[in-house]
Amino acid sequence: MFTNIFILFLVALAKGQSAADAFSTAEPLLLPSETDSFLGATQCPSVNPKLNYRPVIGILTHPGDGASGRIQNSTDASYIAASYVKFVEAAGARVIPLIYNEPSEILSDKLNLVDGVIFTGGSAKSGLYFEVAESIFKIILRKNEAGDTFPLLAICLGFELVTMMVSEHTQFSPLQQDKDVLEKFNARNQASTLQFAKNSDINGTVFQRFPPCLLKRLSTECLVVQNHMVYVSTVQASKYPVTAVQWHPEKNAFEWGLSMTPHSEAAIQVTQHVANFFVGQARKSMNRPPAQKVLENLIYNHSPTYSGKAGRGFDEVYIFT
């Protein structure tokens, strides 16, 4: 509106009119709601009934307090770094914490309330934590095989867990997973590029909606943070909506403790595109749980703890005991 006034003013002066004459002879400016053309625009297009516009993501907690016991030294404690929660929220979803050591029936009920799952970074690769992660992974596959879209995003440790789960067998059995499938590689607190395999097809992957300019910058600029001892960048299941990344898409926008974490505009766009891709998959879920049950289990029922002074790279953590 102001642009139109400014242009009208310049045109009037070019014709030799005074500013007062220009405004006195100009047609009145109308608000959009006062024009006939606006009336047709009040009818917004109907939403797609096949999409879930209130997606909820389950995030599996990790043993400990995220600060080597400096905040909560209980052996029963588990945590979620708040950056994962913010990552999900930035893409328009809410979070329910999946507390790994709570009773199995409670975990099962929570999995019926969510539309996708995140396995976070960390270090636990055995015991109850691994068993619970594997049981959730089985459920994720079964839900997808039954025809519902139920995505998994596995980050860092989550990447390693999924690799271990599928390395020995395609059908789950009592066989021991081959933990030696993970080869050590020192990439702690480092920013890096991402190099795509030759002739990679990114259709249907986390990179599909990246603009070409950002994809190019990914291969030439250090836009992702690595903080691990195993190094394969990114994998995508061929049959399921399962994406695993060894790098940390959530840190660029929401973590400040690691000195090498990139915070450039392009790096933030990487965070946003990954979050949008994952939550976009979750919106395809056919799950419609009772709203009150969701509210009762949301992470908003808990408060984050500032851990920037005591932790190892996390600014905030949700701790569960």
Is residue 21 included in any domain, yes or no? Answer: no
Is residue 12 included in any domain, yes or no? Answer: no
Joined together, the tokens standing for residue 310 give 């005591």
Please say whether the beta carbons of 293 and 238 come within 8 A. no
Strands (E), the chain: 56-60, 62-63, 78-81, 94-98, 117-119, 152-155, 184-192, 224-230, 234-236, 242-245, 305-306, 316-320
pTM (2 decimals)? 0.79
CATH number of the domain bearing residue 91: 3.40.50.880
The predicted structure's pLDDT at residue 241: 96
The predicted structure's pLDDT at residue 188: 56
Please say whether the beta carbons of 165 and 135 come within 8 A. no
Q: What is the number of alpha carbons within 13 Å of residue 317 lying toward its C-beta?
A: 31
Please say whether the beta carbons of 9 and 1 come within 8 A. no
Is residue 113 included in any domain, yes or no? Answer: yes
The predicted structure's pLDDT at residue 250: 95
117's CB contacts (< 8 A; 6+ apart) are: 57, 58, 59, 60, 98, 111, 136, 140, 150, 151, 152, 153
The predicted structure's pLDDT at residue 113: 98
Catalytic residue among 44, 213, 222, 248: 248
Please say whether the beta carbons of 120 and 162 come within 8 A. no
d(CA 88, CA 97): 12
The predicted structure's pLDDT at residue 9: 40
Q: Is the dihedral of CA 275, 277, 278, 282 positive or negative?
A: positive
Tokens 């926008």, residue located: 253
Please say whether the beta carbons of 56 and 96 come within 8 A. yes
The predicted structure's pLDDT at residue 12: 47
The predicted structure's pLDDT at residue 193: 76
Joined together, the tokens standing for residue 320 give 């569960």
Is residue 48 included in any domain, yes or no? Answer: no
Is residue 22 included in any domain, yes or no? Answer: no
The predicted structure's pLDDT at residue 11: 46
The predicted structure's pLDDT at residue 172: 44
Number of domains into which the chain is organized: 1
Is residue 2 included in any domain, yes or no? Answer: no
| Residues of the domain holding 119 | 56-196+204-320
Region for residue 303 given its phi and psi (left: phi exceeds 0; alpha: psi -120 to 50; beta: otherwise): beta
Q: Is 213 a catalytic residue?
A: no
Average pLDDT per consecutive 10 residues, the chain (321 residues; last block may be shorter): 48 53 60 58 78 97 92 94 98 98 97 98 94 97 96 95 79 47 58 72 82 83 65 84 94 89 92 96 96 98 90 86 94
Joined together, the tokens standing for residue 200 give 């990679």
Catalytic residue among 62, 156, 228, 273: 156
Main-chain dihedrals φ then ψ at residue 79, nearest 5 degrees: -145, 160
Joined together, the tokens standing for residue 212 give 């070409």
Q: Is 156 a catalytic residue?
A: yes
Is residue 308 included in any domain, yes or no? Answer: yes
